[in-house]
Chain A
Amino acid sequence: MKIPQLIGIVVIAVAIGIIISTTGNASTYVNFSAAEAMMKSGDDDKVHVVGHLKKENGQAFMMYNPVIDPNRFEFVLVDLENRPCNVVYRDAKPQDFEKSEQVVVIGTMKGNNVFEASEILMKCPSKYEEKKVDAAMR
């Protein structure tokens, strides 16, 4: 085989590799019920769940006590189908979390109505609209 053809084949192979790895690694937007179904079928791919922080009478359903553990933040997220679920995030509470309008959690369902998030993205009503908190950065 001549060199130009060889190079052409390698380039095409790499391009196909890129496309496959992107589609393979890409996550999906799901709701909590679907995430639960995935857990039950043994699929532990990380998913994105969009929702909002549960609040009642101005009181947000969240718990963060840095004196006990600065690396554990829990809250209740209500997904787009109105199903609430406990979310555990093993990092510090993101700033202004209670002010968020919309929250995206990235992670997996871990048990009975418990979702473990490795990343939290939030949309605030403030001007700097998106804030990202990134647990994967290390």
Chain B
Amino acid sequence: MKSGDIGHLAVLVAFAFSLLSTIGFFIHTLYNPNEAFKKNENSWLSFARITYWVHTLGVFVIVGSLYFIIHQNQFEYHYAWSHSSSELPWYYKLSCFWEGQEGSFLLWICWHALLGIVLIRVNEFWEAPVMAVFMLVQTILISMIIGVEIPWIELKFGSSPFILLKDYLGDIPIYAKNPTWIPEDGTGLNPLLQNYWMVIHPPTLFLGFALTVVPFAYAVAGLWKSKLAEWVRPALPWSIAAAMVLGVGILMGGYWAYETLNFGGYWNWDPVENAVFVPWLVLVASLHAMISYKNSSVALHASFIAVLAMYFLIWYSTFLTRSGILGESSVHSFTDLGLSNQLGLGLILLGAVVIGLLVLRWKKIPSEDIESMSVFSREFWIFMGILVLSMSAFQVIFSTSIPVYNSFFKLVGFDFKMAPPPSQEVFYSNWQIWFGIGIATLSALGQFFWWKKMDPAKLWKALSIPLLLSVLVCSILLLLGILGWIEIRLDKFSYILLLLCSLFSIFANASIFFQVVKNNYRLTGGALAHMGVALMLIGILYSSGYSNVVSKNIFGLKFSENMSEQENSENILLYRNEPVGMDEFQLIYKGPRLEPLERSELIAKDDVIEMERPDMVLARTSIRLGGELAYRPGDSIRIHPENRYYEIQYTKSKGDTFALFPRIQQNKEMGTVASPDIKRFWSRDLYSHLSIVPLDESEKDWSPTKEYKVKQGDTVILNDYISVLEKLERIDQIPGIPLEETDISVKASVRVLGKNREYWLHPVFVIRTSQENIIGTLPDTEDELGLRVSLLNIDPVKEEFTLGVNTSQKDFVVMKVIEKPLVNLLWLGTLLLVLGFVMAMIRRYQEFKKMRDKKQEIQTTIA
């Protein structure tokens, strides 16, 4: 049996048993009259568990067979052929696994299978109803990769990752000639994804996706079993875990984009980014509602709405990114696999069930009189925070959904030509900065209301110091900016307000932290997380708000009068070895570099001779790396064939020097990809990428050959440079070219006086006496000057030598340099946020465990 057949069989098994398990848990929930804890006595529950285990086994077999197919380079399968290639190392083969839509669904499914094990183990009462909901979702997910067609109604369910290439490509001519044709190699992994972040970002993101189903399942189970309040405690640690993992996953994606793409930032308000960001915002809102309920029995309605809306949004984002509906409005959405109807249908069903259940139980949900909520209560401020987070989410999703409106109106026969707002960054930021201000303020205020009511005098006492400190620090920063002592001068009201509020949040939460940590460090999660968020906001404010294109306007001249102001000269042109001043730096483009396989250092392209094989070059001279002789002339060097780096040397006015190596990747399938190189200072990042791809030698236009007849020692003018034919010598070896013993080869040494230094060119002339004196010439090229010299002929009688000269464009690069101030605060804040989440999660899980072990799993009293 072939691996694909095993895999496909496992998909069918996993689907069937997942369905059976759903039914088992469902029936147990319905017909279990005593909701006591003697669960092992029930046969339906055992049935559900056994079928669950079979399903889990099936999922593992699916994952194993798909990875086996990719790892073993079985290119007869479409998935391996279209996502992988044989030369990739194992860790990038993991990336291949989840590059495609089916694989990423599979990743999601696999996390579900693992989480289910935990859910069955930790729950007593909740096991059956929660697992019934959970397994229903799992069944729907598996149906996405089942790949079954119902022939008579032409309905296709899912897209299988195990289809053969032959079935995918259909009747193409090659199969007529050779029915067993298997391509030699796959089409490879997108070079953008060949990055360590892309090995860990998707699993993290999908673990976050998988975790979000747990609070959802608890909420639905609570509605279903009329345990309308009791679900909150067990669900809360899961909500926190989901918020942490999903948040980290989103930021990893941002970090990857920052390092790998040349969009100039970590966040682009791309629809795909937005689609995941929105459920995260609502998830954070939901966990605040749940905490609020746990502490003081308010906001239960809000908890339900937020949890259910959050999970609906998770599926909505899946629909947006995988149905192809985003079309040209997104950079990295998947293409349509024909799943859009299935996804759309699932989405509508999910929405209907959720709203139905909520309406059914709405009146019964215990609520506290909203009128009695005091402005001096903590719950009031948490509730404000929930509102701000929800509004923020609404703003993002309402604009991101524009392509959906178009599709919807098309369905009802109306051509609606709405396009996303131009300059999306500005559009979204103008709104979101106010939500950021709100979140920063509320995350500080809410923390101060320890009791249900607090009197103004005490409040002022607690608040005054953080408030004064933040006003002080903010004013100092403003003043320093105005005086010009620090580079950044805050100049927008909303920016200053965001800084002030974020500082306030940091100081306020720090003071809470120091008060709490003395008594019980376990309770400091909230303060830490809020400080993290405030730091992130400041980091975003500076790095995005004051992101500065430093390669701008260095020429200081306008090309034409009617040119629109700023958007004209963000890219600079650097000729090789010609210094250009930019900002406080002097920039020199030093030349292209290659990446050897077995060394970490780069080597200069000028020091090697290129061969026909793209992954192999020969050393032209002795190459020293890291202080030692790495290659001798003629040594062969294996290189990464797709990667070219371009060394840019930065010299500060004070004399500090560093080099950046932005990269260009040339991939035959995916085309050209430019990646930045980032110099990290503590206070800012300097981000450089090439804007266009420098021409390769083979692509350059060379002038027709000009011939010069010269004698040794003569001076000629070549391409405006004074040049001297200094020396001619017999040689017996030419790197990379096998010579016969009877060959006569002569190497010329031409000295060219450049603007800044002199250059040596060494064209070679070979006479093969064994083959009727065939003549070979090996020209030598100096890219920096755009000069190629060959030794065309030797006249031994006159002692005259013919030099052939071609000229071309001098070597140059065009690049963009962007400065990102204080971007490190964003990453630092992220770490704090994660730490805070972890501590909160542990605390909430212990609360749940304590009650469960006391057999009070469905007790509502506050622990």
A-contact 0/1 string along B403-429, CB 8 Å cutoff: 000000000000001111111111100
Majority secondary structure of chain A interface residues (helix, strand, loop or mixed): mixed
Interchain CB contact under 8 A, A95 and B328: no
Q: At the interface, yes or no: A21 with Cβ under 8 Å from chain B? A: yes
Asked if residues B570 and A134 are in contact (CB atoms below 8 Å), the reply is: no
Q: Does B387 touch A at the CB level, under 8 Å?
A: yes
Chain B residues with Cβ below 8 Å from A3 are 373, 375
- Given contacts A29-B417, A92-B691, A66 and B394 within 8 Å (CB-CB): no
Task: List B contacts of A28 (CB < 8 A).
Answer: 417-419
Instruction: Give every chain B residue within 8 A of A91 (Cβ-Cβ).
Output: 567, 570-571, 691
Taking a contact as CB atoms under 8 Å apart, the answer to whether B417 and A18 are in contact is no
**Nearest-CB distance from B616 to chain A (Å)?**
26
Stretch with Cβ within 8 A of A (4 or more), from B492-500, B617-625, B671-679: B671-679
Q: B213: shortest Cβ distance to chain A, in Å?
A: 28
B670 interface hit (Cβ, 8 Å): yes
- A76 CA / B724 CA spacing, docked (Å): 47
Q: Is B402 an interface residue (CB 8 A)?
A: yes
Q: B568 an interface residue at 8 Å Cβ cutoff? A: yes
- Establish whether residues B394 and A136, one from each chain, have CB atoms under 8 Å apart when the complex forms: no
Closest chain B CB from A123 CB (angstroms): 6
A135 engages B671 (CB within 8 Å)? no
Which residues of B are found within 8 Å of A121, using beta-carbon distances?
328-329
Closest to A89 in B: B567
Q: Are B814 and A138 in contact (CB under 8 A)?
A: no
Contacting pair A15 B394 (CB below 8 A): yes
- Complex CA distance for A90 and B816, rounded to whole angstroms: 13
- State in angstroms the CA–CA spacing of A46 and B331 once bound together: 20
Q: Which stretch in B148-156, B262-270, B792-800 binds the other chain? A: B262-270
CA distance A27 to B520 in the complex (A): 54
Q: What chain B residues lie within 8 Å of A106 (beta carbons)?
A: 419, 422
The reply on B563 being an interface residue by CB < 8 A is yes
Whole-angstrom distance from the CB of B79 to the nearest CB of chain A? 13
- CA separation between A107 and B423, bound complex, in Å? 10
Q: Are the CB atoms of B419 and A26 closer together than 8 Å?
A: yes
Q: Evaluate contact between A18 and B670: CB separation under 8 angstroms.
A: no
| Contact partners of A9 in chain B: CB under 8 A | none
Q: Are A136 and B424 in contact (CB under 8 A)?
A: yes
User: In the assembled complex, how far is the CB of residue B322 from the closest CB belonging to chain A, in whole angstroms?
Assistant: 14
List the B residue with the shortest CB-CB distance to A106.
Answer: B422
Q: For A119, what are the chain B residues with a Cβ–Cβ distance below 8 Å?
A: 422-423
Is A83 interfacial (CB-CB < 8 Å)?
Answer: no
CA distance in complex: A3, B374 (Å) = 9
Q: How far is the CB of B582 from chain A (nearest CB, A)?
A: 13
Contact status B568-A66, CB under 8 Å: no
CA distance A128 to B673 in the complex (A): 11
Contact between A134 and B263, CB atoms less than 8 A apart: yes
CA distance A2 to B82 in the complex (A): 62
Are A130 and B692 in contact (CB-based, < 8 A)?
A: no
- A26 and B421 CA atoms in complex are apart in Å by 4
Interface status of A55 (Cβ within 8 A of chain B) = no
A19 at the interface (CB under 8 A from B): yes
Please determine whether B421 and A27 come into contact, CB atoms closer than 8 angstroms.
yes
Which residues of chain A have C-beta atoms less than 8 A from B469's C-beta?
Answer: none
A73 → B minimal CB distance (Å): 9
Q: When the two chains form their complex, are residues B402 and A90 in contact, meaning their CB atoms are under 8 A apart?
A: no
A127 proximity list for chain B (CB < 8 A): 82, 187, 190, 669-670
Contact with B along A1-35 (1 / 0, CB 8 A): 01110010001001100110111011111100000
Contact residue among B264, B328, B384, B427 (Cβ-Cβ distance under 8 Å from A137): B264
Q: Does A43 contact B (CB under 8 A)?
A: no
Task: Decide: A93 near B692, CB < 8 A? Known: A29-B419, A48-B419, A134-B268.
Answer: yes
Determine the chain A residues whose CB is within 8 A of the CB of B568 once the complex forms. Answer: 71-72, 90
**Cα distance A95–B424 when bound, in Å?**
22
Contact A118 B263 (CB under 8 A): no
Q: Mark A25-56, 1 if CB is under 8 A from B, else 0.
A: 11111100000000000000011101000000
- In the complex, the answer to whether A18 meets B263 with C-beta atoms within 8 Å is no
Whether A128 contacts B670 by the Cβ 8 Å rule is yes
Contact of A104 with B by CB under 8 A: yes
Among B423, B426, B812, B814, find the residue whose CB has the most chain A CB atoms closer than 10 A: B423
A126 within 8 A of B: yes
- Chain B residues with CB under 8 A of A19: 398
Contact code string B317-346 (vs A, CB < 8 Å = 1, else 0):
000000000001111110100000000000
Give B351 Cβ to nearest chain A Cβ, in Å. Answer: 19
Q: 8 Å CB contacts to A: which residues of B427-460?
A: 427, 431
- B523 interfacial by beta-carbon distance below 8 Å: no
Bound together, the chains give a CA A96 to CA B422 distance in angstroms of 23
Q: B264 to A134, Cβ gap below 8 A? A: yes
The answer to whether A95 touches B671 (Cβ under 8 A) is yes
24 contacts between A and B (CB under 8 A): A3-B373, A4-B370, A15-B394, A18-B391, A18-B431, A22-B398, A27-B420, A28-B418, A50-B328, A64-B692, A66-B692, A90-B567, A90-B569, A91-B570, A104-B328, A106-B419, A127-B82, A127-B187, A134-B263, A134-B264, A134-B268, A136-B422, A137-B265, A137-B425
Footprint of A on B, CB under 8 Å? 82, 187, 190, 192, 263-265, 268, 270, 328-333, 335, 370-371, 373, 375, 384, 387, 391, 394-395, 398-399, 402, 417-427, 431, 547-549, 559, 563-564, 566-573, 669-674, 691-693, 809, 812, 814, 816, 818
User: Measuring CB to CB, which residues of chain A are less than 8 angstroms from any residue of chain B?
Assistant: 2-4, 7, 11, 14-15, 18-19, 21-23, 25-30, 46-48, 50, 64, 66-67, 69-72, 90-93, 95-96, 99, 102, 104, 106-107, 116, 118-119, 121, 123-124, 126-132, 134-138
| Extra pairs beyond A128-B670, A132-B263 (9, CB < 8 Å) | A18-B398, A28-B417, A29-B419, A99-B671, A116-B564, A127-B187, A132-B270, A135-B567, A138-B818
- Top 7 nearest A-B pairs (CB, nearest first) are A92-B691, A46-B422, A25-B421, A136-B423, A27-B419, A48-B419, A96-B671
